[in-house]
Amino acid sequence: MTEKLYWEDPYLKEFSAKVVETRTLSDGRVGVLLDRTAFYPTSGGQPNDTGMMSYDGRTATVIDVSKDGDNVLHIVDSVEGMGAGDAVECRIDWERRYGHMRHHTALHIIDGIVQKRNSGRITGGQIYADRARMDFDVAGMNREMMQGIIEEAQKIVDDDHSVVSRFLTKEEAMAIPDLSRTDPGNDLLASLKSVRVIDIVGFDMQLDGGTHVASTKEVGTIVLHEYKNNGAHNKRVYITLR
């Protein structure tokens, strides 16, 4: 199992690791498994990291990162001269990752506001480095209501709550209402012995595998970028951060 450094320290930008295995995929791309990694694999609406891997005087570019069971698979442009046991020095593209962290925390804050209003829920979301998308099924939703939700979320940002991650046992997790707000999350909760949660201290706690900023103030200013009415039960919203 790959040691997940992005969970231990989401702010880690550079790390050393050892190659466990290199492989060629069926589509001809090449991949590397490491014993530990700070490269985040695409999951839970948060895109993969990108970056570089240096070894033996060479440099490989990390193009894509995905989950491979309990391991993390790094798709690179070349594994020439790389073998099991080799030491690699890695660096993640921090600007891209930090964008993901800020937008991910912003989504949790907005989700927390919607949850507390108790008139509907967020049915989907996608994080990007420079924006985030959310789909709402909320009774009576319109642009003005959305603007109001964002204003409430901004208060949480400005109050500067700490954001911490921790692991809970299944029993502890089951005892907290609304910890999971999605069907895949509920399935996960039922199947695992322990689950990871993101706690926006004093505001909201959710099941989550992503990387977040350490305090809500780092989110900055939330801007409603686009509001689309896709039907009575589906309003699509894009936010950006300043």
Residue 114 corresponds to which tokens in the numbers above?
């919607």
Closer residue to Zn ion, CB minimum distance, 91 or 196 = 196
Name the minimum Å distance from CB 137 to Zn ion: 18
Distance, in Å, from the CA atom of 3 to the CA atom of 7, rounded to the nearest integer, reads 9
Element (H, E) at 227: strand 222-229
Say how many C-beta atoms besides its own lie within 10 A of residue 138's C-beta: 19
Name the minimum Å distance from CB 87 to Zn ion: 33
Tell which positions 59-98 bind Zn ion, by CB under 5 A.
none
Stretch that binds Zn ion, among 84-92, 132-140, 147-155, 207-215 (CB under 5 A): 207-215
Name the minimum Å distance from CB 211 to Zn ion: 9
Distance, in Å, from the CA atom of 185 to the CA atom of 53, rounded to the nearest integer, reads 33
Stretch that binds Zn ion, among 76-84, 86-94, 132-140, 210-218 (CB under 5 A): 210-218
Q: How many residues bind Zn ion (CB under 5 A)?
A: 2
Bridge-partner residues for 30, per DSSP?
24, 76
Q: Are 26 and 41 in contact (CB under 8 A)?
A: no
208 forms part of the interface with Zn ion (CB under 5 A): yes
Name the minimum Å distance from CB 205 to Zn ion: 11
Name the minimum Å distance from CB 127 to Zn ion: 8
The residue among 242, 169, 176 whose CA lies nearest residue 206 is 176
Among 10, 31, 41, 210, binds Zn ion (CB under 5 A): 210
Distance, in Å, from the CA atom of 179 to the CA atom of 185, rounded to the nearest integer, reads 9
Closer residue to Zn ion, CB minimum distance, 43 or 54 = 43
Closer residue to Zn ion, CB minimum distance, 31 or 99 = 99
199 forms part of the interface with Zn ion (CB under 5 A): no
Name the minimum Å distance from CB 103 to Zn ion: 10
Count the helices and strands in the chain (H runs, E runs): 5, 15
How many alpha carbons fall within 13 Å on the CB side of residue 169? 2
Stretch that binds Zn ion, among 134-142, 157-165, 208-216, 227-235 (CB under 5 A): 208-216
Residue 157 corresponds to which tokens in the numbers above?
């940002």
List residues binding Zn ion (CB under 5 A).
208, 210
